Amino acid sequence: MRVLCLCFTVIITFFPVLSQTEKGNTGATWNIDDLSAIGGYPVTVFGHPTVKEFPDGKAMVFNGVDDGLIVQGCPLNKSADFTIEIIFKPDVSFPNNVEQRYLHIQKPGAENRRMLLELRLNDKNEWFIDTHIRADSAKLTSLAKDYSHPVGRWYHIAFVYSHGTAEHYINGVKEMSGHINYIPVDSACVSLGMRMDHRSYFKGAIKTVRLTPRALSQSEFLSFTSPAPNAGSRSDELFFADDFEKQDSNWVAECEQPATSSVSVKNGRLDINTSAGATVWCTQKLSGSIKITYDAIVTDDGGANDRVSDLNMFWMAADPKNDNLFTRSGKFTAYDDLNLYYAGIGGHDNTTTRFRKYQSTGEKPVLKEYIDKEHLLKGNTLYKAAIIVQDGRTRCYLNDVLYFDYTDAQPYTEGYFGFRTTTSHQLMDNFKIYRLSKE
């Protein structure tokens, strides 16, 4: 029996980074590379921020001590909904400067209505975001301490507000959301590199800011390529994405015990809750050089199938005897006659993490294995997975850590991706497939 999972396809349109102000409902995209004017507004400079040339263009560098600037205007004035985007690079400054504000919108002197983008640093040279809205007596602070990121890299942040809900995204991945009745700012300015009252200075670089007076969807965010993990390529075309907000037919689930298993879209995630083996296939066929990214959580909340084990995946899967791949029962051995790559994270009751290459002859040798705690699973933990297939080489990352790296003399160059598990309850989100090209 096959269980159909209904999701939806997101068509991504890439937006160029512009230096001029975009009028009307499209807001304004600013390149932060001029100390005299930004987006057509005059700038007041504090300290000595400098413009530096980086591989991807110019950006403003702030020293974390006394550098900052205030743009004398704001495209979000009087807007009931908004999206704030920023492309920036935080630098090492722990323990001297662990609380930093890098974008602040407010009417000068009107502290009771403001928006702030902040970060916190830890002793591992990691940062996490803190977003804040103040609307008279109401406040919303979303401190994402469970979602840390390495410093010294470029990131895209999107802070979106619509109809009482505020959400923030890092590199297109939603981390936190909350509810507040926002009151639009008016006659506001934009402070960069510091809080508007000249404190909490930011150390790092800011390349781009976009301020849009409406709530953007993920597909409308600024085009941005995450600097990790890429290793010699850039993600230049996002051809499939699913954030599981609606139902469609992009997924097919094969469950060994369908009567006691479920695969469905719930609360903006793909909810895989199975009492035995299951594979959930994406029906988008892969070919050539690709990169797959998604978020995963292995639930451990006492449910019937909650078991911290088997965050597994198939990719480049193909059946040489049948063009229709989606014909199996969900039992693990039913896939032994396929060609595919397989990563089993925390298999065998979370005692081993393995990489295999399946061959249609039934051979599936273990090519790499870990049994140390660092490569096993933790329950209720966000894992950001990335799989890259390019030029005969396939790699698998979790949370930017390279788990498997295999160069294949006879590589698989097309096939399908599938979430694979057994007796587990897992939540998937922000699934994306990119076509890669050489830099």
pLDDT score, position 115: 96
Within-domain flag for 16: no
- Transcribe 10-52 into DSSP letters: PPP-PPPP-SSPPPGGG-EEEE---SSEETTEEEEEES--EEE
Secondary structure of the chain: what % helix, strand, coil (to 5)?
5, 55, 45
For residues 317 and 280, give the distance between their C-alpha atoms in angstroms, rounded to a whole number. Answer: 12
Same-domain pairing of 98 and 194: yes
Please tell me whether residue 219 adopts helix, strand or coil conformation: helix
For 249, what's the count of Cα atoms within 13 Å in the CB-facing half-sphere? Answer: 1
Kindly state whether residues 249 and 126 are assigned to the same domain: no
In sequence order, what are the beta bridge partners of 118?
A: 101, 130
CA angle 173/10/261 to nearest 5° reads 75
Q: What angle do CA 215, 170, 396 make, to 5 degrees?
A: 135
Q: pLDDT tens-digit profile of 203-227?
A: 999 999 999 999 999 889 998 865 5
Label each residue of 267-294 as H, E or C.
CCEEEEEEEEEEEEEECCCEECCEEEEE
Same domain, 200 and 248: no
Q: What pLDDT score does 20 carry?
A: 34
Neighbours of 184 (CB within 10 A): 16
pLDDT number for residue 228:
46
The answer to whether the bond into 229 is cis (omega within 30° of 0) is yes
User: How many structural domains comprise the chain?
Assistant: 2
| C-alpha closest to that of 99 among 124, 119, 122 | 119
Are residues 369 and 335 located together in one domain of the fold? yes
Query: Model pTM?
Result: 0.52
Tell me what pLDDT residue 150 has: 85
Give yes or no: residues 394 and 268 share one domain: yes
User: Is the same domain home to 197 and 134?
Assistant: yes
Q: What phi and psi, each to the nearest 5 degrees, are found at residue 374?
A: -65, -25
Whether 245 and 288 share a structural domain: yes
| Closest to 424 in 3D by CA, of 268, 291, 266, 311 | 311
Closest-CA residue to 119 (of 148, 140, 96): 148
The verdict on 252 and 170 lying in the same domain is no
Residue 374 has a CB neighbour count (10 Å cut-off) of: 7
DSSP secondary structure code for residue 285 in this structure: P
For residue 429, what are the β-bridge partners?
295
Write down the pLDDT at residue 159: 98
Residues 172 and 246 in one domain: no
Give the CATH number of the domain where residue 36 resides: 2.60.120.200
| Domain match, 73 and 124 both | yes
Using 50 as the pLDDT threshold, list the residues of the chain that sit under it: 1-24, 228-235, 439
In-domain check, residue 31:
yes
Q: Is 51 inside a domain boundary? A: yes
- Whether 14 is in a domain gets the answer no
CATH number of the domain bearing residue 346:
2.60.120.560
User: Residue with structure tokens 């870990």?
Assistant: 370
User: What integer pLDDT is reported at residue 438 of this predicted model?
Assistant: 58
pLDDT number for residue 27: 84
pLDDT per position as a tens digit, 67-82 = 999 999 999 999 999 9
Q: How far apart are CA 189 and CA 43, in angstroms?
A: 10
Long-range contacts of the stretch 264-267 (C-beta < 8 A, 24+)? 264/5, 265/5, 265/6, 265/7
**Does 149 lie in the same domain as 42?**
yes
Q: Residue 143 burial (CB < 10 Å; 0-12/13-18/19+)?
A: middle
Q: Domain containing 416: what range?
A: 2-8+238-438
Give yes or no: residues 54 and 166 share one domain: yes
